[in-house]
């Protein structure tokens, strides 16, 4: 059975001269996928054209940190809707920005851990506590207001394909979902008599992000803010078309 394996990262960090971006391992990383689309050969990093819908709905919270790296965390959708003889070169996935995160980041001799009541919203990163006790809380993917991320990402106002998209490469404050697009490692053409499935596997070694302003010892437990605190960052993703 032929497999096409795609390994890629989605980058949600935005930098400026006053912010230090830190990462740590996410021991909990619960995501909700709402839409998966396959995009035709005219597609690019910035546009999913001629799309066919592989999955739509609510995946429920999938804790991708609870799976062994490289193993499937979820099996969602299949390619029965792909048009026979049509070549597809990209995939686009829509997810909720709200996610369950737990973990700790370290800066020098100081550390900061996630907490349940962290103040995180779709417009602000969440705060933490200077303790080694990691508590799962609802944080948000991406840095709100960030516009220097990669052009294969944008935020959107709805998860079902009807939303208003941000500019390419931007995460708008107030948007509850985001889309990312990735070129397939090799073009995929649907063949008669063969309907593959799609599996998604994840790794979370650097999937917890933190923007440090004045220094971890002083800003870990400060009020949540767009340019400071915890956010969901960089899981590595493996998509298998089997």
Q: How much of the chain exceeds pLDDT 90, in percent? A: 36
| More confident of the two residues 165 and 70 | 165
pLDDT digits (tens, 9 = 90+) for 37-93: 999 999 999 999 999 998 899 888 878 776 654 455 556 667 788 899 999 999 898
Report the range of poorest mean pLDDT among 10-19, 32-41, 130-139, 219-228: 10-19
pLDDT digits (tens, 9 = 90+) for 115-155: 999 999 988 899 999 987 899 999 998 777 765 567 888 99
Reduce the secondary structure of 199-221 to three states and give it as a string: EEEEECCCCEEEEECCCHHHHCC
Residue 5 pLDDT level (bands cut at 50, 70, 90):
very low
Q: Looking at the predicted structure, is the pLDDT value of residue 212 above 60?
A: yes
Show contacts of 126-132: CB within 8 Å, 24+ apart.
Answer: 126/224, 126/229, 126/230, 126/231, 127/220, 127/221, 127/222, 127/223, 127/224, 127/229, 127/230, 128/210, 128/220, 128/221, 128/229, 128/230, 129/220, 129/221, 130/216, 130/217, 130/220, 130/221, 132/104
pTM, full prediction: 0.80
Show the tokens assigned to 194: 């063969």
């Amino acid at each position: 059975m032929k497999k096409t394996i795609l390994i890629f990262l989605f980058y949600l960090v935005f930098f400026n001269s006053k912010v230090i971006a830190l990462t740590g391992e996410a021991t909990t990383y619960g995501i909700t996928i709402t839409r998966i689309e396959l995009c035709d050969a005219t597609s690019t990093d910035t546009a999913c054209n001629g799309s066919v819908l592989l999955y739509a709905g609510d995946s429920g919270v999938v804790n991708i940190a609870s799976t062994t790296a490289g193993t499937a965390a979820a099996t969602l959708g299949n390619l029965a809707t792909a048009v026979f003889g049509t070549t597809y070169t990209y995939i686009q996935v829509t997810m909720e920005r709200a996610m369950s995160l737990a973990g700790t980041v370290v800066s020098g001799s100081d550390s900061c851990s996630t907490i349940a009541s962290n103040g995180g919203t779709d417009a602000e990163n969440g705060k933490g506590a200077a303790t080694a006790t990691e508590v799962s809380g609802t944080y948000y993917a991406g840095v709100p207001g960030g516009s220097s991320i990669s052009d294969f990402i944008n935020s959107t106002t709805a998860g079902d394909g009807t939303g208003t998209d941000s500019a390419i490469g931007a995460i708008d404050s107030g948007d509850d979902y985001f889309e990312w697009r990735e070129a397939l490692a090799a073009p995929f053409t649907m063949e008669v008599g063969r309907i593959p499935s799609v599996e998604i596997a994840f790794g979370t070694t650097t999937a917890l992000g933190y923007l440090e302003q004045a220094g971890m010892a002083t800003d870990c437990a400060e009020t949540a803010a767009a340019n400071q605190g915890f956010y969901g960052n960089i899981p590595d993703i493996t998509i298998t078309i089997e």
